[in-house]
C-alpha cells in the first residue's frame, strides 16, 4: 500500500506537469441531435445532414486524439528529463541522504559483503548484469520497481539478509559456533502478504548463490510448468509428460550453469526411458537412451534439449543427479511454488462430455521437483498470490512442517527509506 501510494503520487505529478505544458485549446462540444427516418426513400436533404453530422463527429474525434497524443508526448518528455536528472544525481553525494541523515545508498559492491549496517539502504544494480546472472528472467516485481523509479536499485532488507545467512550457515557449519541466530533450515517456503517482496528476495538469493559459485536451478515462474504446450499420459509411469516445458527448463538451466555442468560427472548411468515427443509421437525402434560412463551433467542436459522424446526423462533424472552433487553447493529455487499444490491447466477426458482436471502433482516434472523431503538438499520456494491459486492449508504434502516462514511487509525503518527514495523523484518533477 505504501509503495502504491508513493507511485501514484509521482505519476500524478508527472501527469500534472504534462497538462500544464500543453497549450492546445480544448475543442468545443458539439450537441448533435438525431432523428429517425421513417420514409422509405432517403432524400437529398437528409443525406446532406448526415454528411455534416459525420464531418462534425470526425472532427471531434481527431481533436480528442490529438489532445491525447500531445499529453503522452509531454509525459514522455517529462520522464526523459527525470532520467537525465537522476543520472546527474549519481555524481552528487549531497543528495545521497536517507532517514536520520544516513546514506540512502549502500557503498557495498557485492551481495555477499552486505551486513546488518546495510539494511534499510538501497543497492544499485546494473540491469545488464542482472540479466546475465539471472538469464531465466527477472521477477515482475523487480522489473516494475525499476520502471516506476527510473533507477535500477533495490532496498536491502534485514529479512533478506537473514535468508541469505541461513543458507550461508547451512553450507559452512563453522559459522554456527557462537551464533545466536534462528534454527538453520535447508528447506524454506516463503509465504506472506501480496507484494511483500518474496520474489525479489528469492531472485537476490539466487544472485548471491551464483556469486558464491553455487549450482542453482532457478525457476522464476513455477506456474509455467503446469500450463501450455503438449501433454501426454505416460503408460509406464502413470504420470503426465510435458516435453515442451521440460526442454525449456533444461535450456534455462544450462544458460548460466554451463561451465559448472561440464565439470560434473553423471553419477547414475542407468538408461533413461524415452516418452512421447512434442507433436512427433513415440520413438520408433528404441525406448531408452543410454548414458556413457564419461558423460557430464552438461551432456545429459543437452541430450534432453535436443531430443524431445528424452526431455522429460532427462529432467526427472537431473533431479536425482542434483541430490548426488557433493563438490559444490546446490540450490533449487522455485518462485510461484504454490502453483504446484493445485490443479494444472490440463484436463483428462473421462466421458464424451466431461473431463477431469489434472493436478500438478500428476505431472512428471512437478512430481520430481516438488518434494522438500530430501534431507540434505537445499531448496527454497516462494508463494505468489498473483497466480490466483488461493489460500493453501498450513501443512503441505512433501514439505517439512517447519519450512514455511512468513516474509514480512516493510517495518518502520524500511518504510522511511522507501519514502525518501520515491519522494526525491517527485521533487525532481516540481
Rounded mean pLDDT, 335-347: 95
Measured CA to CA in angstroms, residue 251 lies from 91, 213, 302, 309 at distances of 40, 20, 8, 15
- In this prediction, residue 56 carries a pLDDT of 56
- In this prediction, residue 24 carries a pLDDT of 38
Say if residue 82's pLDDT is above 80. Answer: no
- In this prediction, residue 33 carries a pLDDT of 34
**Of residues 287 and 71, which shows the higher confidence score?**
287
Question: In which residue are the cell numbers 538501497 written?
Answer: 122
**Of residues 311 and 60, which shows the higher confidence score?**
311
Neighbours of 225 (CB within 10 A): 26
b/e for 27-37, b at 16 or more Cβ within 10 A? eeeeeeeeeee
- In this prediction, residue 7 carries a pLDDT of 57
Neighbours of 113 (CB within 10 A): 10
| Closest to 124 measured CA to CA, from 163, 161, 159, 150 | 150
Whether this prediction's pTM lies above 0.75 is answered by yes
153-155 and 122-124 beta bridge pairing: antiparallel
Say if residue 137's pLDDT is above 80. Answer: yes
pLDDT digits (tens, 9 = 90+) for 156-187: 999 999 999 999 999 988 777 656 667 899 99
Question: In which residue are the cell numbers 500428476 written?
Answer: 362
How would residue 403 be classed by pLDDT, with cut points 50, 70 and 90?
very high
**Of residues 212 and 390, which shows the higher confidence score?**
212
Say if residue 131's pLDDT is above 70. Answer: yes
Q: For the chain, what is the mean pLDDT? A: 83
Say if residue 330's pLDDT is above 90. Answer: yes
User: What is the layout of strands, in order, in the sheet containing 187-191?
Assistant: 215-219, 330-335, 378-382, 187-191, 404-406
| Closest to 123 measured CA to CA, from 139, 137, 140, 111 | 111
Distance CA 426, CA 148 (A): 11
Report the percentage of the chain scoring pLDDT > 90: 61
- In this prediction, residue 71 carries a pLDDT of 74
Question: In which residue are the cell numbers 497538462 written?
Answer: 19
Distance CA 261, CA 380 (A): 21
pLDDT digits (tens, 9 = 90+) for 277-300: 888 888 888 889 999 999 999 999
| Closest to 202 measured CA to CA, from 373, 343, 333, 306 | 333
Rounded mean pLDDT, 376-403: 86
Amino acid at each position: 500500500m505504501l509503495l502504491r501510494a508513493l507511485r501514484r503520487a509521482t505519476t500524478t505529478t508527472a501527469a500534472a506537469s504534462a497538462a500544464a505544458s500543453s497549450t492546445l485549446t480544448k475543442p468545443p462540444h458539439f450537441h448533435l441531435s438525431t432523428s429517425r427516418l421513417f420514409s422509405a426513400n432517403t432524400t437529398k436533404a437528409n443525406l446532406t445532414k448526415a454528411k455534416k453530422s459525420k464531418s462534425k463527429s470526425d472532427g471531434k474525434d481527431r481533436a480528442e486524439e490529438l489532445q491525447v497524443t500531445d499529453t503522452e508526448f509531454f509525459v514522455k518528455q517529462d520522464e526523459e528529463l527525470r532520467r537525465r536528472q537522476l543520472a546527474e544525481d549519481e555524481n552528487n553525494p549531497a543528495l545521497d541522504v536517507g532517514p536520520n541523515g544516513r546514506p540512502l545508498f549502500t557503498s557495498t559492491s557485492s551481495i555477499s559483503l552486505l551486513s546488518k549496517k546495510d539494511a534499510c539502504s538501497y543497492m544499485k544494480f546494473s540491469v545488464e548484469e542482472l540479466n546475465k546472472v539471472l538469464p531465466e528472467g527477472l521477477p515482475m516485481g523487480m522489473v516494475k520497481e525499476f520502471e516506476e523509479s527510473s533507477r535500477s536499485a533495490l532496498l536491502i532488507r534485514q529479512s533478506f539478509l537473514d535468508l541469505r545467512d541461513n543458507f550461508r550457515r547451512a553450507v559452512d557449519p563453522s559459522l554456527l559456533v557462537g551464533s545466536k541466530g534462528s534454527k538453520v533450515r535447508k528447506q524454506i517456503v516463503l509465504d506472506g502478504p501480496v507484494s511483500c517482496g518474496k520474489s525479489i528476495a528469492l531472485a537476490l538469493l539466487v544472485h548471491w548463490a551464483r556469486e558464491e559459485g553455487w549450482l542453482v536451478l532457478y525457476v522464476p515462474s513455477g506456474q509455467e510448468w503446469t500450463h501450455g504446450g503438449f501433454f501426454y499420459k505416460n503408460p509406464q509411469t502413470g504420470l503426465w509428460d510435458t516435453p515442451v516445458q521440460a526442454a525449456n527448463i533444461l535450456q534455462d538451466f544450462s544458460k548460466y550453469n554451463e561451465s559448472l555442468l561440464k565439470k560434473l560427472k553423471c553419477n547414475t548411468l542407468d538408461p533413461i526411458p524415452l516418452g512421447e515427443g512434442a507433436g512427433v509421437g513415440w520413438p520408433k525402434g528404441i525406448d531408452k537412451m543410454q548414458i556413457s560412463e564419461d558423460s557430464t551433467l552438461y551432456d545429459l542436459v543437452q541430450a534432453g534439449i535436443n531430443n524431445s522424446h528424452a526431455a522429460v526423462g532427462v529432467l526427472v533424472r537431473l533431479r536425482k543427479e542434483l541430490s548426488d552433487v557433493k563438490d559444490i553447493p546446490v540450490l533449487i529455487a522455485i518462485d510461484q511454488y504454490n502453483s504446484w499444490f493445485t490443479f494444472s491447466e490440463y484436463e483428462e477426458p473421462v466421458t464424451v462430455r466431461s473431463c477431469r482436471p489434472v493436478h500438478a502433482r500428476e505431472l512428471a516434472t512437478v512430481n520430481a521437483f516438488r518434494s522438500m523431503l530430501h534431507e540434505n538438499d537445499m531448496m527454497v520456494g516462494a508463494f505468489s498470490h498473483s497466480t490466483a491459486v488461493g489460500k493453501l492449508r498450513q501443512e503441505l504434502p512433501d514439505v517439512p512442517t517447519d519450512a514455511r516462514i512468513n516474509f514480512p511487509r516493510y517495518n518502520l525503518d524500511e518504510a522511511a527509506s522507501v519514502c525518501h527514495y520515491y519522494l526525491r523523484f517527485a521533487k525532481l518533477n516540481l
